[in-house]
Amino acid sequence: MSPLAFDDSGSGPPVVLVHGFPATRGLWKEVAPRLVARGFRAVVPDLMGYGASPDAPDVGMEQQARRLLELLDQLAIDRAALVAHDVGTAAAQILTVWAPARVRRLVLMDGVYETEWAMGAVESIRGWDPEQAARLQPVLARKLRTIRDLLAAYAGEAGGKRLIHAARCLDPKQTEGMTARLRATGVPVRLAWGAQDDFLPAEAVGRPLAQALDVDLAVLDGGHFLPLDNPDGVSRLLLDWLAAPAEGR
């Protein structure tokens, strides 16, 4: 049984919403209800070592993919649409390549491309002195105002150490060569990006990923944390695509 903390609402076709670093499942708090209102089932987990989910020695994205598969098994979900953000897209790509029959459709949002994970943005966290862990969350809350409320989950010494550990478990090699393997699965893919994403810019990361996968890139108004910056636009994109006919990429 998956130990992940998660929300599960609605009763229609399942959609699993995956956050990235250093967020929590609260990233989708404005999007999930819109999906449910339109007849979808929204399953929204905290990744292992994040939010309300328990810690583990390895909270890298390969392990997250395993945990997400366990969650699908736990909930008796044979196939789901998978929507992922930031480095959560690494877990989603890995899961899709490992078990393409479990993924009806895949949406990658402001995410990773091969070994481009915006590691420069997390280098200071990876190198943060654990003895000063309690100082980390207030610093991040000032820098990342869009997710300031979500970062409350990492307050204090214990919370800071969780973020340091999570950052140190990030390994871009886990998606090296992944794009061709993902394309070979035949799973329909959609890309969505924030026009003002400063961490994984649309033109530098999203566009090459779209070209490698031979799919369109939808660029929406908003920054990196697009589900919070533009929940209306994200919800419309998801609802239009998830309800569209299955054929074609």
Q: How far apart are CA 78 and CA 40, in angstroms?
A: 15
The pLDDT score that the predictor gives to residue 245 is 76
In this structure, are residues 187 and 105 in contact, taking their beta carbons and an 8 Å threshold? Answer: yes
In this structure, are residues 20 and 86 in contact, taking their beta carbons and an 8 Å threshold? Answer: yes
Residue 41 maps to a domain = yes
Look up the CATH number of the domain holding residue 14: 3.40.50.1820
Residue 143 maps to a domain = no
CA-to-CA dists, residue 77 to 25, 52, 82, 119, 245, angstroms: 19, 22, 12, 33, 20
The pLDDT score that the predictor gives to residue 57 is 97
Residue 129 maps to a domain = no
Residue 223 maps to a domain = yes
- Considering its fold, how many domains does the chain have in total? 1
* Per-residue confidence in pLDDT tens, the chain, 249 aa: 679 999 999 999 999 999 999 999 999 999 999 999 999 999 999 999 999 999 999 999 999 999 999 999 999 999 999 999 999 999 999 999 999 999 999 999 999 999 999 999 999 999 999 999 999 999 999 999 999 999 999 999 999 999 999 999 999 999 999 999 999 999 999 999 999 999 999 999 999 999 999 999 999 999 999 999 999 999 999 999 998 876 543
Closest CA to 79 of 87, 69, 89: 69
Closest CA to 175 of 50, 16, 98, 61: 61
- The parent domain of residue 192 ranges over 6-118+173-242
Closest CA to 83 of 172, 6, 192: 192
Residue 181 maps to a domain = yes
Residue 81 maps to a domain = yes
Residue 212 maps to a domain = yes
Residue 228 maps to a domain = yes
**Residue 22, preceding peptide bond in cis (omega within 30° of 0):** yes
Is this model's pTM higher than 0.75 or not?
A: yes
